[in-house]
Amino acid sequence: MFDTLGEYYIWVHDRYRAASEELSVGEFESKDELMGKSIRGLLEHVLYVTRYSFGRDGSEPMAEDDFLEYSEMIMETDKEELLKQWRELDLHMKKQLSGIELGKRMMMIPLTGEDPIELTQEEYYLIFTDHMTFHRGQFLTALKHLGKPGISSDLYYYMLEKNSKARM
């Protein structure tokens, strides 16, 4: 199941990256009034939080000094490099998802200032991937407000595409 989730993660975010590539820099950086930030700002947030959680190499959370340095670097990064880093992060996430050890316990450090909680790896990654669904919804809303077409991103559509390719 987690292998499929990792493959879906790449598939769906490739669709969002393709939509991002079609945007002008002005559209990419324009603040969406409903979301309160731009698509760029949303992507910066995703990169910050994910890198904080998994570190630069994906092995452990970033030290605070490294995180602050990374945050500053991200704010100065151009659109093309942000999209590239997002793809690299997704490839890492796919690898993490395929290596889940069912039942293995781990600590989750909440970003809301609450005390850490203990979860299984599968619980942690389900929370993480589910939360990305929320951010894809924000992204889609911002695209629609820019007058751009929607993106079919349901897991169902991924499975349809995957199964139709398997029959060829």
Residues 100-110 have pLDDT tens digits of 888 887 766 66
- Say if residue 5's pLDDT is above 60: yes
Beta-sheet pairing, 117-120 with 105-108 = antiparallel
Alpha carbons 19 and 150: distance in angstroms, whole number: 9
User: What is the structure's pLDDT at 60?
Assistant: 63
147 class by beta-carbon count within 10 Å (0-12 exposed, 13-18 middle, 19+ buried): exposed
User: What is the structure's pLDDT at 112?
Assistant: 65
Alpha carbons 103 and 112: distance in angstroms, whole number: 25
> What does the block give as tokens for 17?
């990256």
- Say if residue 82's pLDDT is above 90: yes
Count: domains in the chain: 1
CATH of the domain at 81: 1.20.120.450
- Torsions phi, psi for 50 (to 5 deg): -65, -45
Alpha carbons 27 and 92: distance in angstroms, whole number: 28
Domain interval for residue 27: 2-167
- Report which of 109, 108, 111, 113 is spatially closest to residue 123, judged by C-alpha positions: 108
User: Is the Cβ–Cβ distance between 123 and 131 less than 8 Å?
Assistant: no
Distances (CA, A) of 137 to 35, 95, 130: 10, 24, 11
The reported pTM is 0.84
Of 23-27, 115-119, 161-165, the least confident: 115-119
